[in-house]
């Protein structure tokens, strides 16, 4: 079968029980219930169609492994692992449809679902699930990414470079998209023109490097005009030395500390303006190209914050 659901595996990790009941790690909170949930999208079809380095299909398991051994914060609570939607070969559309169905169901049982990609084609499946569950809500899309991913589908079909184009075509009147961390040299003039035509809000990587708060006002503004926020994080936003294991490593990149600030700012803005953050995804981890699990750990830090906030 081209797209299947794979049940979660047992989480394991270091046991520090000799230090008492508060010496707990993230894996010890994983189970089948909780307010928060993780769901994997094991796919590299979108990256392959986009002519990138393949390997993202192994991303969800590598992220879980990196996350499992982190120390749990004081406020950690049990969370559900919902397993993986696994895309074999090129049947991307079937996988995205299945991912959307799983997300729509999960949003009825959990207040936040975090999807572990997969390439950025994950985002189109994520959006389908979010829109199916919140049919009448105003969705603010926040993408932390070096790329706009607004490309028109090519001969191979939709890819990891097209998800926000697909969202705009699905809901042209409701399309509200903020892209943070853009690298000028990684986006053609045609993509910037399309973004301008479609009213996309943008904050460039140079601005964030100069001032880590450069996107704060834009984040507050989209939260104020939305009912819910959808946060999607492409790990290729990070510098190549912090995230070598991605489809397209960044020559410059936005430092991890700044990306952590951005994630925190999104959560704070959602709370401040009374809009929910029910869905986030973290994509483009390619373990085959990762040095010493560095990229997986960088991504897992962001998952930990979203999971335990």
Binding residues for Mn(2+): 120, 145, 147, 149, 234, 236
CB atoms within 10 A of CB 149: 29
What single DSSP character describes residue 151? P
- Report how far residue 126's alpha carbon sits from residue 208's, in angstroms, rounded to the nearest whole number: 27
Taking phi first (over 0 means left), then psi (-120 to 50 degrees means alpha), and beta for anything else, what does residue 186 get? alpha
Q: Mapping DSSP to helix (H, G, I), strand (E, B) and coil, where does residue 106 land?
A: helix
Taken in order 227, 270, 283, 217, the sign of the CA dihedral is positive
Q: Both tokens of residue 112?
A: 């936040």
Residues at the annotated binding site? 120, 145, 147, 149, 234, 236
Q: Both tokens of residue 107?
A: 């949003």
CB atoms within 10 A of CB 53: 17
């Amino acid at each position: 079968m081209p797209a299947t659901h794979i049940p979660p595996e047992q989480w394991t990790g270091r046991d520090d029980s000799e230090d008492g009941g508060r010496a707990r790690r993230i894996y010890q909170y994983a189970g089948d219930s909780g307010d928060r949930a993780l769901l994997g999208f094991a796919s590299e079809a979108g990256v392959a169609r986009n002519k990138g380095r393949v390997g993202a299909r192994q991303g969800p398991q590598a992220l879980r492994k990196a996350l499992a051994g982190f120390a749990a914060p004081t406020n950690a609570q049990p969370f559900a692992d919902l397993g993986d939607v696994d895309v074999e070969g090129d049947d991307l559309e079937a996988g995205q449809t299945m991912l959307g169905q799983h997300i729509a169901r999960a949003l009825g049982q959990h207040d936040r679902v975090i999807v572990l990609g997969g390439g950025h084609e994950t985002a189109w499946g994520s959006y389908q699930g979010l829109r199916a569950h919140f049919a009448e809500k105003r969705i603010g899309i926040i993408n932390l990414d070096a790329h706009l991913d607004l490309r028109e589908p090519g001969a191979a079909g939709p890819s990891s470079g097209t998800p926000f184009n697909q969202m705009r075509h699905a809901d042209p009147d409701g399309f509200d998209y903020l892209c943070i961390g853009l690298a000028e040299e990684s986006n053609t003039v045609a993509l910037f023109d399309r973004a301008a035509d479609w009213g996309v809000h943008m904050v460039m990587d140079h601005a964030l490097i100069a001032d880590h708060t450069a996107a704060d006002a834009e984040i507050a503004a989209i939260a104020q005009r939305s009912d819910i926020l959808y946060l999607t994080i492409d790990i290729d936003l990070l510098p190549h030395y912090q995230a070598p294991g991605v489809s397209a490593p960044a020559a410059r990149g936005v430092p991890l500390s700044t990306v952590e600030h951005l994630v925190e700012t999104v959560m704070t803005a959602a709370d401040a303006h009374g809009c929910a953050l029910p869905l986030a995804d973290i994509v483009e981890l390619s373990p085959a190209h990762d040095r010493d699990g560095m990229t997986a750990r960088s991504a897992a830090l962001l998952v930990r914050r979203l999971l335990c906030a």
